[in-house]
Structure 1
């Protein structure tokens, strides 16, 4: 029998290769492996508390009123005690149902989320995203980053102002609900992007992958009581509450 030649176009090859790389996820890269090693077990060391995330909701590090006028107290209380608390509760159920080892960091599950249920994906992502969101905000914060993170931002985006513009665009143009992120990507460079719903760049199913350094919640429940439909205004004011010290710690622990 005569064999039919099989020809693969360059475009098709690149497309399939990209899909294969995406399927492997950030966890299969040197950056991802280093990140998991730095995470260790939740609560193991002070530095690792910065990086690793447990499966239970941690206490908020400030009062609900502390981020006003940028984020109002009622939004903070509802967001933390209702929305975020529900993700933590439902994640606990998924962990029990699917036999997950909760002594390991949540990041390990997220990097392999394709192996788990939709319930794990939605609630594991929701819990992780909010735990990071609370930590990278604090009262009387804002300004600009300093040191090696500032240098990396200038190197990656040209200037801090250019980074802010790109980050805000990612948040404003995210269709529907989701998050905008600053990450350390697979090539060990800073990148900005967004994810839908409660997905995040750690997930092996995400089209935008990397190690999250900071992320903003652009679901309407994060801002609607104060800003109504003005998502752009919420994002613009959010710079006033960013804890650049913690974002810098996350970056410096990985490079």
Structure 2
């Protein structure tokens, strides 16, 4: 079974399996620790010209890898080392004594989810069930896109904007720094990273241009629809 087939099969099972879909594992595999760095679902240059290979190389190879390595160092020899990533996030959320573990675990998850929220040739209006849910929740794609863009643009400092399913309702939320909706049991559908390292090499301070490119050319609506399950 190749990686694409694995993604299609595991995507239909739900929020926890979303972690498996993006390649996160808590199995011991010969890496530096129990949490493995997810593979990118595409080549580093696949999202050009909207996100460059240079940005992906730094963002994935330095930042995402750094969070993974730091998390493994922090949980080594602790009870967290045997837990799935989601459980680590949920058990450390809001616990001051475990803030460093939470921040790195959440960033491992958030980044893996972000890579899969994009695809070459993506973006624009969705079709199918996700389009119907967006229309019902927001009154149409254009209203959704405006609200999502505003959330991403107005997240002060570093953070994320998300389309989530909270029960049967679709909502747009934003989280600061490493915070993540799965910490409180909300199911993410897509996310955009608005930390500066996600876009500064390509867009400098023009965050709104990056958000526009994400929505119009990169969003992986198939991924979002599978996360509805």
Shift of 1:198: 1.1
Question: 1:59-208 to 2 correspondence within 5 Å?
Answer: 59-102=39-82, 104-112=83-91, 113-115=93-95, 117-185=98-166, 187-204=167-184
Shift of 1:68: 0.7
Question: Alpha carbons of 1:106 and 1:94: their partners in 2 closer, same or farther (altered >3 Å)?
Answer: same
Ranges in structure 2 where 5+ consecutive residues have no aligned partner: 1-12, 26-34
Shift of 1:147: 1.4
Give the match for residue 224 of structure 2.
Answer: 247
Give the match for residue 21 of structure 2.
Answer: 50
User: Equivalent residue of 1:117, what SS?
Assistant: helix
Give the match for residue 12 of structure 1.
Answer: none
Shift of 1:95: 2.4
Shift of 1:61: 1.8
User: Equivalent residue of 1:183, what SS?
Assistant: strand
CA deviation vs aligned residue, 1:51-90 (integer Å, no higher than 9, x gap): 8843321111211111011101111100000000001111
Question: Alpha carbons of 1:172 and 1:48: their partners in 2 closer, same or farther (altered >3 Å)?
Answer: closer
Shift of 1:39: 4.9
- RMSD over aligned Cα atoms: 2.1
Give the match for residue 10 of structure 2.
Answer: none
User: Equivalent residue of 1:172, what SS?
Assistant: helix
Give the match for residue 215 of structure 1.
Answer: 191
Ranges in structure 1 where 5+ consecutive residues have no aligned partner: 1-36
Give the match for residue 29 of structure 2.
Answer: none
User: Equivalent residue of 1:137, what SS?
Assistant: coil
CA deviation vs aligned residue, 1:19-73 (integer Å, no higher than 9, x gap): xxxxxxxxxxxxxxxxxx9456x6xxxx773388433211112111110111011
Question: Alpha carbons of 1:242 and 1:38: their partners in 2 closer, same or farther (altered >3 Å)?
Answer: closer
Question: Alpha carbons of 1:48 and 1:94: their partners in 2 closer, same or farther (altered >3 Å)?
Answer: closer
User: Equivalent residue of 1:67, what SS?
Assistant: coil
Shift of 1:155: 0.5
TM-score, with structure 1 as normaliser: 0.74
Shift of 1:161: 0.7
User: Equivalent residue of 2:162, what SS?
Assistant: strand
TM-score, with structure 2 as normaliser: 0.82
- 1:228 aligned onto 2:204: yes
User: Equivalent residue of 1:202, what SS?
Assistant: helix
